[in-house]
Amino acid sequence: MDATVYDVIGIGIGPYNLGLAALVDEQPDINGLFFEQTPRFKWHPGMLIEGTDLQVSFLADLVTFANPKSHYTYLNYLHETNRLYPFFFYHQFEIPRKEYDRYASWVSHQLDHCYFGARVVDVMYDEEIYHITVKYNDDSTYTYKANHVVMGTGHKPNTIIDLEDIPVEDVHHSSQYLFHKDKTVKAKSITLVGSGQSASEIFLDLLQEQKNHSFSIHWYTRSPGHFQLDQSKLGQEIFSPDYVDYFHQLDYKTRLDALDELKPLRNGVQQATLHAIYHELYHLSIDGQLDTIHIQPLTSLENVEKNESDYTVTYNHWQKDETIKDQTEKIILATGYKPNIPDWFNKRIKPLIQYESDRHYKVAKDHQLLFKNGDHSHFFTQTDLVHSHGSSATNLGLTVDRNVQIINTITNEQRYKRQTGGIFTQFQ
């Protein structure tokens, strides 16, 4: 056991906790460690499709909204890698996803308090301090002590149906798309399920691949159509610390209702992606080449049945309450994600904390969970925050504000200034 009592230990190193680790690195008096079970930083590797961009500005990097002068800004990454002038002539705010992944990896390689290949297997609280047990890839196990814990375990694929005993190369989640793409495009028929940005990017990629292969594409979505993300400037101000503060102080039911009202701003597909899809379809239609393409909204996936050489997929047309069956060789499920809550959390932490409902734990404004006796737990979460913090939960542009609050709470002083009060909309 390491006898040191660390100020903070972060569990999981995705963009959220990586940004926190970078800010902690700038505070020499904060003693912190961060652990990640994967061998190195990789951001959605199965969806780094050529030509795809982030849906937010490059300013939404790991640190800029806390400290634009930081060594770990995206602009400094470009400077250090001699890519600043190419980016200057690129004339775009949204950056390629592949480059965001490279940037975040560049940051992770410089943080010696970030440990990869290290899986947290247990977290215990003994009324004063947290004991975090970590198993490394070489099977060695160590226990560390910390005054504060930050859970950033992210999300895991939500496949909707049971995929047990089904070969992953035949049926897989969109997060694994590129891992199996070479085999997928060799099939005679491909089915895509889902209507969001990931589904649209995969459909566009398959449309372009279809020129070199002979497969058919069937695209099924539960939504009534393929709708564009609302990116109006004033509307985007819900992705500000001001709105998050307003949202958090609402009662639980009002918050859940507000999430439904904000769907056009939170969900949907980028205009450029939808335009590119229509462009491809229109050009194919000139020579009548659309008989291998089928786009069907209003259908929810019910079942996948394995046959000798393909699969029978059953859908429900929920508006007409009719059953639809389709045959296909490959299935890609772009059906979203769900919070990745570790087993140790449910066993050790869940019994100690307050819940707002059977599904949702109660989260303070600074992202701390609250003990049942009302005391602050010193256990922060960056996972499963939609119900408590709304638009900030999965938005990269608000990650830094969350980390600013965590650091300010840990140090009990304003180490970083929050960027509030500067937008044009008044939510309070």
Report pLDDT digits (tens) over 252-290. Answer: 999 999 998 888 788 889 999 999 999 999 999 998 889
Strand partners for 173: 333
Burial class (CB in 10 A: 0-12, 13-18, 19+), 189: middle
Residue 357: pLDDT band (50, 70, 90) is: very high
| Residue 37: both structure tokens together | 């079970």
Q: What is the mean pLDDT of residues 63-78?
A: 98
CA count, 13 A, side-chain hemisphere, 76? 14
pLDDT digit string, tens, across residues 92-126: 999 999 999 999 999 999 999 999 999 999 999 99
| Residue 268: both structure tokens together | 């949907």
pTM for the whole structure: 0.96
Q: Are strands 141-151 and 376-381 parallel, antiparallel or unpaired?
A: parallel
Per the listing, tokens 């972060």 go with 10
Residues 56 and 398: their CA atoms lie apart, in Å, by 10
Alpha helices in 287-347 (DSSP H): 343-344
Instruction: Give the per-residue pLDDT at 1.
Output: 65
Give the chain's domains with CATH numbers.
Answer: 5-154+340-411 (3.50.50.60), 158-228+267-333 (3.50.50.60)
User: What sign has the CA pseudo-torsion 83, 86, 88, 94?
Assistant: negative
Residues 138 and 119: their CA atoms lie apart, in Å, by 11
Supply the angle between the helices 15-25 and 97-109 in degrees, to the nearest 10: 40
pLDDT digit string, tens, across residues 139-192: 999 999 999 999 999 999 999 888 888 999 999 999 999 999 999 999 999 999
Strand partners for 295: 219
